[in-house]
Structure 1
Amino acid sequence: MEKSISQTILLAGATGYLGSYIAKALVEDSFKTKLITRTTKKLTHLKSKTVEIIEAEVTKPKTLYGICENVATVISTVGITRQKDGLTYMDVDYQANLNLLNEAKRAGVKKFIYISAIHGDKYRHLKIFEAKEKFVDALKTSGLEYAIIRPNGFFSDMKDFLNMAKKGKIYLFGNGEQKFNPIHGQDLAIVCLQSIKSTTTEITVGGPDILTLNEIGEMALDAIQKPNKIIHLPHCIRRFILWSLRNFTSSKFYGPIEFFLTLMAEDNIAPRFGSKRLYHFFKENINQ
């Protein structure tokens, strides 16, 4: 990818699944990079003449002051799928990103790249997407150049299939023929770096293979050499679970489950990209 190493990129969320791949890609491509993290020791192995590690917390605006000085582009992977530290989706996916955006604007940053998820605008009623899309709205009206990247699920999310397979059975709702194409973090990192120069403002992307849920289940069972045992449950059970969770549990508990059960009920196919295969990911993560 054509680039100018004089351009400084700031990455927020560098210790997460996707962020770690983006950080590695920025280093390998010799970008001048600022990585912000709550604990610098997690990223000290990346520190170099072109990489600066900055201790800051995106949920605390005062710690962000000055971090965007001389930065051309901000990339944020900040978000939570399983709530922790007593923080809500609005605290992190919306407000923390807004804190970063406000500092970027103050410092004169040119472009802000944000990683959301596929069909976030369609599923705004889901707790996870409500906060993400509220930030997307703020970004679009910020006056900065922007790119919103919408991946079709991460390979890391597919570990749920592997965990079921380890117990000998895969449970699916409906006939299991719903299709989608999740993407590996390493492939998605390439998309994120390409978006630095691209003028495309919204990028929906998935992995190279379009798979049914049945195929993913079979793949997970095969990876750990278990018999092909997939149990199909009716959608009425899925709808009842969603209703029960929304009415009798807190959003911090049901948010991730609501997301998974809703999107897995229908096809979600994104433009294909990358070379990493899910089966290899399963084989590599059998013992994790």
Structure 2
Amino acid sequence: MKHTNVLLAGATGYLGSYLLKVLIEKENQVIAIVRNPDKLKITNENYLEIKQAEVTNPKTLRDICKGIDTLISTIGITRQKDGLTYMDVDYQANMNLLEEAKKAGVNHFVYVSAIDGDKYRNLKIFEAKERFVDALKSSGLNYTIVRPNGFFSDMKDFLQMAKSGRIYLFGSGNQKFNPIHGGDLARAIVDTLDDRNKELTIGGPDILSLNDIGKLALTTLNRPVKIIHLPDWSRKLILWFLRTFTSVKTYGPIEFFLTLMAEDHIAPTYGEHRLEDYYTAAAKKP
């Protein structure tokens, strides 16, 4: 990959922090857009410039793309804060970046969505993400749409559950997927920056069932393997209840996890980080 000027939006998030590290290691000049500069861990002044801006406020982004070849956006909300909706962030904030990118003649826009988002547009989180994907594809800019399987950081929920001594799963628990570590995903994205107009669906090296992940979480904490399988209708009932009686803010992330975990989602395998090692390290942290 040739060295390039990269604007990174979402540099303080789980994936963004790994992207920043890999981009700088490969000697790219990076401008990181952050709301709170204190949150940024890397300070390699030779390759990094920090710009404070609010992606949801277009005024703060004015001319931010000047001299930029590639824009990478990991902007999106999983667990909602600040009273902002998916449309405010996953769609509109990325549109604000796209407008600036078009004005400045940015060569390549890399956007991180999630696995099978195009097949689940009925979910609130994907309604916003895929609406942006459509806009990006028709923008005239070179694009890459990245569709990762679940992140290792999302798998911490199983470890949390395992602390109580048992894991609850819906259905048989045989649903398979291959979550990916942020470091592996960052490397894959940076290594393919020269590619154009493609969708990159990607997962980690191990294809695991939910039963496997539950077992792994319990054994990591030295607990006996107790996995309780709830009938699938109870999952559907919870979804109906949440959609009917709570706000999108509450049900959005749960709707996303409960829907995707009901079926297999297997992506092309990549990377070297294993969930087992991630759990072992996470369990040692206070």
Q: Quickly name the TM-score band, shorter chain normalised.
A: over 0.9
8 A contact 1:44–1:53 mirrored in 2: no
Structure 1 unmatched runs, 5+: none
Q: In 1, distance between residues paired with 2:203 and 2:228?
A: 26
Aligned partner of 1:106 among 103, 107, 111: 103
Query: 1:62/1:275 Cα in 2 relative to 1: closer, same or farther (>3 Å)?
Result: same
| 2:32 equivalent in structure 1 | 35
Q: Show the counterpart of 2:2.
A: 3
Q: 1:255 aligns with which of 252, 259, 271?
A: 252
- 1:45 CA displacement: 3.6
Specify the alignment match of 2:48 in structure 1. Answer: 51
Which residue of structure 1 aligns with residue 89 of structure 2? 92
The total of aligned residue pairs comes to: 285
Separation (CA, whole Å) in 1 of partners of 2:212 and 2:139: 42
Query: What pairs up with 1:1-288 in 2 under 5 angstroms?
Result: 2-4=1-3, 7-43=4-40, 45-199=42-196, 201-286=198-283, 287=285
Q: Tell me if the contact between 2:108 and 2:196 (Cα under 8 Å) persists in the aligned partners.
A: no
CA contact (8 A) 1:47 1:53 kept: no
- Displacement, 1:43? 2.1
| Structure 1 residue 50 displacement after superposition | 1.8
RMSD: 1.0
CA distance in 1 between counterparts of 2:137 and 2:144 reads: 9
Structure-2 separation of matches of 1:46 and 1:189: 18
Give the Cα separation in 2 of the matches to 1:48 and 1:103.
25
The one-letter amino acid of 1:285's match is: A
SS at match of 2:127: helix
* Partner Cα distance (2:42, 2:195) in 1: 30
Instruction: State the Cα distance separating 1:163 from its structure 2 match.
Output: 0.4
* Identity level (%): 62
The answer to whether the 8 A contact 1:124-1:133 is kept is yes
| 1:36 alignment partner, SS class | strand
Quick one: which amino acid aligns to residue 74 of structure 2?
A: T
Residue 49 of structure 1, CA deviation: 2.0
Amino acid at match of 1:3: K
Q: Give SS of 2:12's match.
A: coil
Asked if structure 2 preserves the Cα contact closer than 8 Å seen for 1:74 and 1:104, the reply is yes
For the 8 Å contact 1:147–1:195, the answer to whether it is kept is no
Measure the CA separation in 1 of the matches of 2:169 and 2:45. 47
Q: Are 1:204 and 1:270, in contact at CA under 8 Å, matched by a contact in 2?
A: yes
Could you tell me how far 1:47 is from its partner in structure 2?
Answer: 4.0
Question: How far off is 1:200 after superposition?
Answer: 5.2
User: Which runs of no fewer than 5 residues in structure 2 stay unpaired?
Assistant: none
Q: 1:238 to 1:44 in 2, by over 3 A?
A: closer
Aligned partners of 1:87, 1:72: CA distance in 2, in Å?
30
Deviations 1:222-244 (A, max 9, x none): 11111100000000100100000
- The 1-side partners of 2:46 and 2:18 are apart by 20
Q: Is the 8 A contact 1:13 1:19 kept in 2?
A: yes
SS in 2 for 1:197: coil
Aligned-partner Cα distance in 2 for 1:184–1:176: 22
1:42, distance to aligned residue in structure 2 (A): 2.0
